[in-house]
């Protein structure tokens, strides 16, 4: 499919974002594309109009996100339900989701406009936070749900059940429940596994568990996790994708399962997932013998 209608959103706090976004908008329009701006970006660029993110997603064939992984995560949560492909333009120095670097933007978008691109479907998690019969929050995340002790000095007690069957009580600093996309985020820092992002799996990873046999567990996509907090002091904090925080108290419940929505990310035409992973984790390049075999 050729791309003709493009929505643009950005982290407006990034340096020179109005300049970069303006140049890209003009370039896209010269290529015959119709460009829509988010309301925040239009204001930053002193452009008239601007749309909210939902309307932007409904009208666009492609959503261009300029910023870092945080901006991509926000876009995923807000527009994932509309199934619009998202391409991330990395405006910083570190990102797993923003696959296209600023100096590659024209080459990459040239190919995308011709329809020469691949899209990968990424699983999201549905999270529901309840306090008794009251709903605190219901929404989706692309990376992870983190339950942690916040400013408490003591560990928290998290009773965890899977598909209605009791599994264990995690006595720890917290619990990370992530998608494969989020496996290279906080979960990786806490000793969790790297999981290929195109898979549908749920990763549960305790943070500094009191019992050393509490290790990361990977569940199938159909699993439904129910986590009850039993700490009686000041409660705990539930964080969604590192961006939204909710306070919970003893007896409150967090329910997590695969979302009915997914995110469709445009893959970089210049590098594979493994190249990005090697770069971000500073893994070594080709083994010495590989060059010799290639030149043999």
Domain 5-118+267-289 has CATH 3.20.20.70: no
Residue recorded with tokens 């982290």: 11
Q: What is the pTM of this model?
A: 0.88
CB 82 within 8 A of CB 103: no
Active site (catalytic) residues: 69
Sign of CA dihedral 285, 287, 292, 296: negative
Instruction: Cite the residue boundaries of each domain of the chain with CATH code 3.40.50.10330.
Output: 5-118+267-289
Confidence tier at 292 by pLDDT (50, 70, 90): very low
CB 5 within 8 A of CB 59: yes
Query: Per-residue DSSP letters for 228-279?
Result: EE---SS-EEEEETTTEEEEE-TT-EEEEEEEEEEEEEEPPSS--HHHHHHH
The stretch 51-77 carries a mean pLDDT of: 92
The stretches of 80-185 forming alpha helices (DSSP H) are 105-113
Higher pLDDT, 267 or 219: 219
In three-state secondary structure terms, 150 is coil
Please tell me the distance from the alpha carbon of residue 140 to that of residue 75, in angstroms, as a whole number: 11
In three-state secondary structure terms, 3 is coil
The stretch 112-134 carries a mean pLDDT of: 93
Please tell me the distance from the alpha carbon of residue 227 to that of residue 162, in angstroms, as a whole number: 9
Q: Mean of the per-residue pLDDT values for the chain? A: 89
CATH topology of domain 125-260: Tumour Suppressor Smad4 (2.60.200)
pLDDT digits (tens, 9 = 90+) for 163-190: 999 999 999 999 999 999 999 999 999 9
Conformational region of residue 9, where left means phi above 0, alpha means psi within -120 to 50, and beta covers everything else: beta
pLDDT > 70: percent of the chain = 92
Instruction: Cite the residue boundaries of each domain of the chain with CATH code 2.60.200.30.
Output: 125-260
The stretch 92-109 carries a mean pLDDT of: 78
pLDDT at 136: 96
Residue 294 has pLDDT above 60, yes or no: no
């Amino acid at each position: 499919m050729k791309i003709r209608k493009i929505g643009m959103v950005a982290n407006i706090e990034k340096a020179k974002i109005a300049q970069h976004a303006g140049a890209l908008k003009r370039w896209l329009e010269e290529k015959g594309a119709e460009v829509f701006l988010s309301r925040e970006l239009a204001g930053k660029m002193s452009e008239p109009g601007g749309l909210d993110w939902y309307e932007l997603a409904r009208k666009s064939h492609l959503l261009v996100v300029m910023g870092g992984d945080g901006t991509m995560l926000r876009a995923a949560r807000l527009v994932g339900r509309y199934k619009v492909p998202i391409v991330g333009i990395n405006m910083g120095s570190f990102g797993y989701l923003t696959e296209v670097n600023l100096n590659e933007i024209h080459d990459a978008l040239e190919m995308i406009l011709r329809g020469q691109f691949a899209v990968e479907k990424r699983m999201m998690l549905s999270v529901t936070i309840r306090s008794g019969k009251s709903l605190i929050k219901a929404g989706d995340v692309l990376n992870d749900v983190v339950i942690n002790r916040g400013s408490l000095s003591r560990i928290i007690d998290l009773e965890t059940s899977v598909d209605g069957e009791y599994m264990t009580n995690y006595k720890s600093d917290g619990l990370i429940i992530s998608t494969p996309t989020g496996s290279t985020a906080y979960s990786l820092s806490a000793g969790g596994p790297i999981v290929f992002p195109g898979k549908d799996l749920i990763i549960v990873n305790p943070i500094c568990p009191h019992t050393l046999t509490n290790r990361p567990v990977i569940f199938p996509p159909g699993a439904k996790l129910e986590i009850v907090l039993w700490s009686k002091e000041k409660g705990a904090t539930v964080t969604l994708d590192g961006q939204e925080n909710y306070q919970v108290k003893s007896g409150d419940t967090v329910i997590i399962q695969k979302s009915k929505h997914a995110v469709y990310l445009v893959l970089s035409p210049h590098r594979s997932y493994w190249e990005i992973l090697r770069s971000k984790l500073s893994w070594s390049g080709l083994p010495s013998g590989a060059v010799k075999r290639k030149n043999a």
